[in-house]
Amino acid sequence: MNYAALIQNRKSVREFQNKVVPFQLLEQVKTYYRKSARHLIPEIGTELYFFGTDAREALEGAAGYHKFLVGAPQYLVLLTGEHPQAYLNAGFLMEDMVLKLTDLGLDSCWVTFADSEQVKDALGIESELKIAAIVAFGYGVKTTRRLRLNIKSMSNIDIQAKRHYFEPKRSVSDLAHWGTWGSRDGLDKAIGFYDDMLWEALYAASLAPSYLNRQAYGFLLDTGSVTLVARPDDYSVPIDEALSLGIVLHHFTVTAENWAGKLSWSFEPESAQLPEGHRAIATAAI
Judged by CB under 6 A, the residue of 131, 202, 230, 247 near ligand FMN is 247
How many residues bind ligand FMN (CB under 6 A)? The answer is: 21
Q: For the chain, give the number of residues.
A: 286
Short-list 217, 141, 133, CA closest to 175: 217
Min CB(71)–ligand FMN separation in Å: 11
SS3 label, residue 96? helix
Q: Does 111 bind ligand FMN (CB under 6 A)?
A: yes
Q: Does 48 bind ligand FMN (CB under 6 A)?
A: no
Min CB(148)–ligand FMN separation in Å: 10
Judged by CB under 6 A, the residue of 139, 211, 217, 219 near ligand FMN is 211
64: left (phi over 0), alpha (psi -120 to 50) or beta: left
Alpha carbon separation from 262 to 100, 281, 285 (Å, rounded):
20, 18, 10
| 33-39 contacts, C-beta under 8 A, 24 or more apart | 33/97, 37/93, 37/96, 37/97, 37/100, 38/92, 38/93, 38/96, 38/250, 38/254, 39/89, 39/92, 39/93
Min CB(52)–ligand FMN separation in Å: 19
Which residue is closest to ligand FMN by CB? Answer: 209
- Scanning 74-82, 121-129, 207-215, 226-234 for contacts with ligand FMN by CB under 6 A, the matching segment is 207-215
Question: Which residues have CB under 8 Å from 192's CB, separation 6+?
Answer: none
Q: Does 11 bind ligand FMN (CB under 6 A)?
A: yes
**What angle (nearest 5°) sits at the alpha carbon of residue 147, between those of residues 144 and 153?**
145
Nearer to ligand FMN, 149 or 187 (CB): 149
**Cα pseudo-dihedral 28, 255, 9, 62, rounded to 10:** 70
Judged by CB under 6 A, the residue of 244, 253, 255, 283 near ligand FMN is 244
Nearer to ligand FMN, 70 or 226 (CB): 70
Per-residue contact flags (x/-) with ligand FMN for residues 58 to 77, judged by CB under 6 A: ------xx----x-------
Q: Does 206 bind ligand FMN (CB under 6 A)?
A: no
Q: Does 110 bind ligand FMN (CB under 6 A)?
A: yes
Min CB(231)–ligand FMN separation in Å: 15
Q: Of 248-277, which residues contact ligand FMN (CB under 6 A)?
A: none
Please list the residues that pair with 226 across neighbouring strands.
221, 284
- DSSP sequence for 162-215: EET-------HHHHEEESSTT--TTHHHHHHHTTTHHHHHHHHHHT---GGG--
Min CB(275)–ligand FMN separation in Å: 24
**What angle (nearest 5°) sits at the alpha carbon of residue 214, between those of residues 211 and 216?**
105
Per-residue contact flags (x/-) with ligand FMN for residues 154 to 193, judged by CB under 6 A: -------------x--------------------------
| Residues near ligand FMN (CB under 6 A) | 11-12, 14, 64-65, 70, 109-112, 149, 167, 209-213, 240, 243-244, 247
